[in-house]
């Protein structure tokens, strides 16, 4: 029996070695360091010992999600883009207030140098995106949303830009409700209408302003 076990163990050992080698080939040394930093930030949040910076956590989760997607794609089809090339457009789409801090912590400059530069979304970009969201909601439900929870930071950007001034009709009759944290980490989310016999304040008292 011993020789048989040894013979069977050799192919299994080779298979594990090949899988480890394939995993290393998926990510360069710099990309592995980036993944490790993202995992440390996520672990901080999960352990509850320290609360990581909101922007860092947002990007760390983006990096981890991209890693999972990238590995699935590479296992199913030929995909020549590097992980950094796959990842950076996803990071640039995240809602981040302090890009300097994010770029410094994750050392993204080494990856950005080979990528086309994209500025963070402007107020008008955000307004258009929210208008598209409202139009999509109308298309799917047959009516416009009465209320939308809006990330507090974006709300302040809109306020400073005069989006809410009297006479402005950027969002029709849809009301914006500034919220500190929206479930799912999204920038905005439609709120289901309150029952007719309830005021809105009674409907959603748990929303932090």
Residues 45-73 pLDDT 10s:
888 777 788 899 999 999 999 999 999 98
Tell me, what's the pLDDT at 206? 46
pTM of full prediction above 0.75: no
How many alpha carbons fall within 13 Å on the CB side of residue 82? 14
Q: Could you report how far apart the first and last alpha carbons of the chain are, in Å?
A: 70
Contact 8, 37 (CB under 8 A): no
Dihedral angle, C-alpha 145, 151, 156, 159, nearest 10 °:
-10
Helix ranges restricted to H, 27-82 = 29-47, 54-76
Tell me, what's the pLDDT at 200? 45
Over the chain, what is the mean pLDDT?
A: 79
Residues 123-176 pLDDT 10s:
888 888 899 899 899 988 999 999 999 998 899 889 888 888 877 788 988 999
- Rounded-to-integer distance, Cα 119 and Cα 98, Å: 13
pLDDT > 90: percent of the chain: 31
Average pLDDT on 73-89 reads 87
């Amino acid at each position: 029996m011993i020789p048989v076990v040894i013979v069977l163990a050799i192919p299994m050992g080779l298979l594990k070695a090949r899988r480890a080698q394939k995993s290393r080939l998926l990510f360069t040394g710099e990309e592995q360091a980036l993944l490790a930093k993202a995992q440390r930030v996520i672990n901080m949040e999960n352990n509850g010992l320290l609360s990581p910076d909101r922007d860092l956590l947002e990007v760390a989760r983006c990096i981890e999600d991209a890693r999972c997607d990238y590995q699935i794609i590479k296992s199913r089809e030929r995909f020549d883009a590097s992980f950094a090339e796959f990842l950076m457009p996803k990071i640039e789409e995240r809602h981040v207030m302090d890009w300097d801090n994010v770029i410094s912590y994750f050392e993204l400059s080494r990856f950005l140098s080979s990528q086309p530069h994209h500025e963070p979304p402007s107020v008008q970009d955000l307004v258009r995106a929210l208008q598209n969201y409202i139009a999509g909601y109308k298309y799917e439900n047959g009516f416009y949303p009465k209320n939308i929870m809006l990330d507090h930071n974006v709300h302040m950007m809109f306020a400073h830009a005069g989006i809410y001034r009297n006479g402005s009709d950027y969002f029709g009759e849809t009301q914006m409700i500034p919220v500190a944290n929206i479930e799912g980490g999204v920038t905005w989310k439609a709120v289901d209408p309150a029952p007719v016999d309830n005021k809105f304040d009674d409907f959603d008292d748990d929303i932090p302003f």
